[in-house]
Structure formats: C-alpha cells, structure tokens
Structure 1
Amino acid sequence: MSRSSNQTDAYALILEAIDVGVYRPGDRLVESDLAERFGVSRTPIREALQRLETQSLLERDGRSLIVASLDHNQMAELYVVRRELEGLAARLAARHATEEEIRVLQEMVESDDAFVDNPTELSKANRRFHEQIHLASHNRYLVQQLNLVHRTMALMATTSLAAEGRGRIAQEEHKTIVNAIERRDEDGAARALKDHISVAFMTRLKQDAGDRAKG
C-alpha cells in the first residue's frame, strides 16, 4: 500500500470514528493508541491528525489534540450555512434527480420509520437520507461543501433526534421533502428542507437550554 493511501485510510478511519461517536468532543486523541486501534503506523496517523486539525475538527489542549467542540455562535453559524446549502440541494434534486433516485429516497423514508424511537439508528439513517439528496442534486461542488458541513455536525455532543417526539416529526418532514422532489416542485422542496433544518436547530437550542438549566 502506498504512503498516500495509508494516509487517506488513517484520515478516513479517524473521521468515521468521530462521526459515529467513538470519539466525542473533548476526547484526547493519542497517536500510539490510534495506530494500535486501526492497525496503521504512526506516521500516517500523525499526518491524518494534522489534516483534521487544519479542518478545525481537532484542537489543541496544551500539547494534546482533542476532538473539537462547537460553542453557541459556531453552532448557529453552522446551521445558517447548512440550511441554505441543504435547501439548494433539495431544489437541484427536484430538477435533476432520476426516477430511480427518487424511488430510493421514498424507500429510505419508509424503512426509516422503524427507527423513530431509536435516536442512534435514526441519526445514522438521517445522515444517509440527506446524503442521498445531496447526490441527487448532481452538483459535485455542492456535495463537497455539504460533506464538510456534515463532518462538522459530528462535533455536537448530541443529536436533535434524541428530543422527545422529534424522530416522528422529522420523518414526516422527510416525507414532505421527498413528495416535493417527486413533483419536481423546486421551490417546495427547497422550502421544505430549509424548514426541516430550522426545526432541527430550534430543537437543539431547546436541548442546550435544558442542559444549562440542569447544570
């Protein structure tokens, strides 16, 4: 295996571990531990950590690297960008998605109903659903930007889908989005997805307020 592929694999492995919650905001990442965990030498691990730091997914805590966390302002800024980009993706999906891609979205929404009371699994399904809309936009540059946004979303300690009743409501919102895409209603699809992100943001703000009250 080449050095560059080793480096790419190490980066992808660490990124996925952060994404699925193996490493949470504030967790310290140690080269030797990561190398042992993933079966990769320390050099590509070190290079992957440097890359993640430049992307602001890791931050310095003294001499250590820890998984970054988002403060209130960063979270708000991220949701503003996500709302606009996701809305554009839905608009382009309504314009460009193939019949097969629309059918896949419909099947995803139907099957994801099984996870409404399981926030962890629903969160994974939600990610797959949104990625499918991104791909259906048929715009590679938009997909790249949304990938970065979703990677940064992993720096939030909890999912808004964990809020009481949010899973069921989110599923209904997903159905509204897909129905608009199927009708080729570009304005309706964009509006439905932007509204979906706005509700998710409000849910997360309420979660944070509740956490502060407990503290």
Structure 2
Amino acid sequence: MFTTVRTMRAPEESARAFVYRVLSLYIREMFLRPGEKLVETDVAQALQVSRTPVHDTFTRLEREKMLCSVPRGAVVPPLDPAAITQLIWMYRTATLAAMGELYTSRPATLEPLERCVAREYEALRGGALLQMARLEQEFLTELYRLADRLPVLGALRSTGPDLYRMLRLLEDRRMWGYIADRHAGLVQALALRDHDAAAAALNAEYDLFEPLLAECRYIRPDYFRQD
C-alpha cells in the first residue's frame, strides 16, 4: 500500500502525526486513488503503528473531506466538480486581494516568487511534470507569505483538496508552461508596480482552470463524482 516516498517516521514524530502526514500526502498526491478503500488494521500494519492513531486520523481526514466512512473502513472520495468550481472562485478572489496587499505594502524583494518561477521552469525543462502542481502551490504560498496573508491561504486549503487533486492529474507540458509564464508575468508586473497587469496574469491562470476541469472529467470520469 505505502511503497513509494516519504513513509519514514521521523524520530520526534508522534504516531498520529506520522499517520496523518502519510495518508494526507497519499490522498492529495493521488497515490491513493478515488474509490480506493482503506482498512484501519491494514494501514496500522503497513505503517507499523497501533490502530488508535489510525482511527483518529481517519476521523480527522473525514472532517477534511479526504476520506468517507464506510463499513469496516473508509474510502478515498471522488473529486467533486461543484466543489472545484467553488474553490476556483475562492482562490481567485482571495489571491487578487493578497496581490492588492502586495501593491500597498511594497515588499522589499520579490525574490521568493522569482525562485518559485525558476523552479517551475527547471521542472519543465527536465520533464518533471508531476512536480508542477506542488510548485504551483509553493508559488501561492510565497505570494501569501509576502502579503502577510498565510492564514487566509490555510483556510482556503482546509476547505478541501479537490482543486489540487485535479491539477495533480494533469501532465500537459504546454498547460504547465502557460501557468509558469503567467506566474513570471505576475512577478514582473508586481516589480513594475503594474497591478492591472498582475491581476490579468492571475485571472488568465484561473480562467484556464474551468476548461481543465471539463477536460479532466472527460479523460478520467471514474475519478469524479457523478451527478
């Protein structure tokens, strides 16, 4: 079940934190696919912990919409198109507001955002498309950090993982190149104090997400909730 990366427990890490880290990672990164069933005893055996931290983690992940309870276990839920559409709107609105804070506060440097863009282009050159969804999230994290709005981003991410899970499915180099170009344009516009151009770059990225949702539902219908 857990044969890939990041399953080693750190010496100071509690069993509950370890189980949560592994399960949330595997669900978000789509190592555990929608519809896959988890059984507490199996997870406990695989991760070499007792059932109690596994049970507690299942309960937490159900609250966070990353698991659904079923008899004798839990399943990874399908992606919810309505939730993704709502998340696109929420992220667009909140990120535009965060950029407004950057325009007002005028941070001393945009180097953290520039480094994020450089990592995106490096991943594209190396063909590491599976990294791109995570790098897109890192760009957002640095933008909100510079705007001193990380709690807002934390609240957005706690709303649900489905927008990230959708992006994780996509391995189109042109699409990710387009998003990296929009990030580069956004950073350049912020450096020039051109708020309209920065907003246009951001809106262009989120405008892309709706057709991507339709594409994902067409390519992987088994991964999505059926209305």
TM-score by length of 2: 0.77
Q: Contact 2:28–2:164 at 8 Å: present in 1 too?
A: yes
Q: Distance in 1 between matches of 2:118 and 2:155?
A: 28
| Residue of structure 1 in register with 2:151 after alignment | 141
Q: Contact 1:96–1:136 at 8 Å: present in 2 too?
A: no
Q: Distance in 1 between matches of 2:39 and 2:133?
A: 27
| Residue of structure 2 in register with 1:29 after alignment | 38
SS in structure 2 opposite 1:52?
A: helix
1:114 is aligned, of 119, 122, 127, to: 122
| Residue of structure 1 in register with 2:178 after alignment | 169
| Residue of structure 2 in register with 1:57 after alignment | 66
SS in structure 1 opposite 2:166?
A: coil
SS in structure 2 opposite 1:156?
A: helix
| Residue of structure 2 in register with 1:73 after alignment | 82
SS in structure 2 opposite 1:26?
A: coil
Q: Distance in 2 between matches of 1:175 and 1:7?
A: 39
1:148-194 Cα deviation digits (max 9, x unpaired): 2573434438534x235102111111111112232344454344223
1:7-41 Cα deviation digits (max 9, x unpaired): 33332332122222221221112222322333332
What percentage of residue pairs aligned between the two structures are identical?
A: 20
Q: Which has the higher helix share?
A: 1
> Which segments of 5 or more consecutive residues in structure 1 lack a partner in the other structure?
none
Q: Contact 1:94–1:183 at 8 Å: present in 2 too?
A: no
Matched, 1:12 2:21: yes
Q: 1:159 to 1:211 in 2, by over 3 A?
A: closer
- Structure 1 segment 32-43 matched on structure 2, within 5 A: 32-43=41-52
Q: Distance in 2 between matches of 1:118 and 1:173?
A: 19
Q: Distance in 2 between matches of 1:97 and 1:17?
A: 38
Q: Contact 2:179–2:205 at 8 Å: present in 1 too?
A: yes
Letter of the aligned partner of 1:156 in structure 2?
Answer: M
Letter of the aligned partner of 1:132 in structure 2?
Answer: E
Q: Distance in 1 between matches of 2:49 and 2:103?
A: 43
TM-score by length of 1: 0.81
Q: 1:185 to 1:145 in 2, by over 3 A?
A: farther
| Residue of structure 1 in register with 2:166 after alignment | 156
Aligned residues: 208
2:203 is aligned, of 194, 207, 213, to: 194
Q: Distance in 1 between matches of 2:155 and 2:47?
A: 27
Q: 1:149 to 1:118 in 2, by over 3 A?
A: farther
Q: Contact 2:44–2:51 at 8 Å: present in 1 too?
A: yes
Q: Contact 2:133–2:164 at 8 Å: present in 1 too?
A: no
Q: 1:152 to 1:186 in 2, by over 3 A?
A: same
Q: Contact 1:57–1:68 at 8 Å: present in 2 too?
A: yes
